[in-house]
Structure 1
Amino acid sequence: MNLILWRHAEAEEIAASDLARQLTTRGRKQAQNVARWLRTRLPEDAVILASPAARTMQTAEALTDQYRVVREIAPNASVEAVLEAAGWPEGIASTVVVVGHQPTLGEVLATLLGNETNSDGSVRRSWPVKKSGVYWIKSRERNGDGEAVLFAAITPELV
């Protein structure tokens, strides 16, 4: 399975509610640039899941209008909710793109790819993910054990 975690692009700071926050002009450009990079690499049968927040749906729409809104991956979702929605590690499809939020996406990364330690020796529970950043993870089996392998990490500035 390919699991692609895509943080929503830059959004306005103030709106009627957190879920209503829209992408800024810069955010729309970020989403379009990353979507262009993804579009050339995704299989046609990739499944796109977006949080019910306006900013995640607008980010997903830069890629396609064929996406599913999954309320379980709304802001502050659990790692388990994201992995369950995607069907990790077998997958609900061979490639699943989750358009979501920090710190949840960073927590998914820390869980799948291994925790690091902070300077004080405590375990880091979340990785930083830039706005409109993408982490592409592949699941595989090696010696009878499941593994998560980082395939790509992209920021809008790199595409």
Structure 2
Amino acid sequence: MDLLLWRHAEAVDGTPDHSRELTERGLKQARRMAGWLDAHRPKRLRVLASPTVRTRQTASAFTDDFEIVPALGPDAGVSDMLAASGWPDASGATLIVGHQPGLGRLAALLLSGAEADWTIKKGALWWFTNRVRDNETQTVLRAVIPADFA
């Protein structure tokens, strides 16, 4: 399985939090990353997004075919994201468009085996895959793409 974690692009400050929209810079970040994703995407890619405006706008830069998953909101925990994605047992690939600190904590768990407060920058994408070698499941980091590198 492949699991892609995409933090929403830059958004305006303010309240209510769920209604915050992307800034002009954020829209550009989302479009650039969407272009990179389009060129490198796995063949079967399921896209899941938090219900916030900024995550839906980020996902929409890439595709209109995404699922809004309430459990992936700003307070989503690692277990919420693992359950929504089906990691590591689902087939194909899943892209989660979400928030800090949950995405960083999930990345830490996947790479180090323990949750930690790692930061995924706004608009950045982290791509993981898993494989079995010698009867041991391994997590592999395939790519980390900051928004300004896409």
- Normalising by the smaller structure, the TM-score range is over 0.9
RMSD: 1.4
Residue number in structure 2 paired with 1:139: 130
**Any stretches of 5+ residues in structure 1 without a counterpart?**
116-122
Is 1:153 paired with 2:150?
no
- Per the alignment, do residues 45 and 124 of structure 1 end up closer, same or farther by CA in structure 2, a change over 3 Å counting? closer
Q: Percent identity?
A: 42
Is 1:46 paired with 2:37?
no
Aligned residues: 150
Relative to the length of structure 2, the TM-score reads 0.95
* TM-superposed deviation, 1:145: 1.7
1:8-157 superposed matches below 5 A: 8-15=8-15, 17-91=16-90, 93-114=91-112, 125-157=116-148
**Any stretches of 5+ residues in structure 2 without a counterpart?**
none
Q: Deviations over 1:96-137 (max 9, x none)?
A: 00000000000000111006xxxxxxx871211110000000
Q: Which runs of 4+ in 1 moved over 2 A?
A: none
Residue number in structure 1 paired with 2:2: 2
User: Does structure 2 retain, via aligned residues, the 8 Å contact 1:132–1:156?
Assistant: yes
CA distance in 2, matches of 1:14, 1:110: 29
Structure of larger gyration radius:
1
Relative to the length of structure 1, the TM-score reads 0.90
Tell me the SS of whatever aligns to 2:40: coil
